[in-house]
Structure 1
């Protein structure tokens, strides 16, 4: 999980914005393949995914890592 601060590449990026960008790029199916969590594969929605990710640190860490990897590849 990100700790915040200016040195943190996720500083200023909300979990909602991060998730919306990943869905835009990979789609729900792509997210489900990359991060094995049910909220991405069974009736996915931003709201249910945010709820799950906010209370499941290991899943949030995987999603944040995927976001950073994706953003690096797009640059």
Structure 2
């Protein structure tokens, strides 16, 4: 799964929380450079766009597991 792979790229890997079905990542963790190739061109995602701040010590990963249907490139991109 794409979300699982992206979650593993952080210096402290994001954790999947069964209770809410979301990946959470330590606010101090940094991510490796990540991009998506569309039509032969790579579009890199800004590290700040990979997480949503919660005001706590953990952030919500902006890319989450998909439970079926279509996958949409959204806010993180």
Structure 1 and Structure 2 fold alike (TM over 0.5): no
* Structure (1 or 2) with the larger CA radius of gyration: 2
1 or 2 for the larger relative contact order (CA 8 Å, sep ≥6)? 1
- Taking structure 1 as the reference length, the TM-score comes to 0.25
Q: Which has the higher strand share?
A: 2
Q: What is the TM-score with the length of structure 2 in the denominator?
A: 0.25
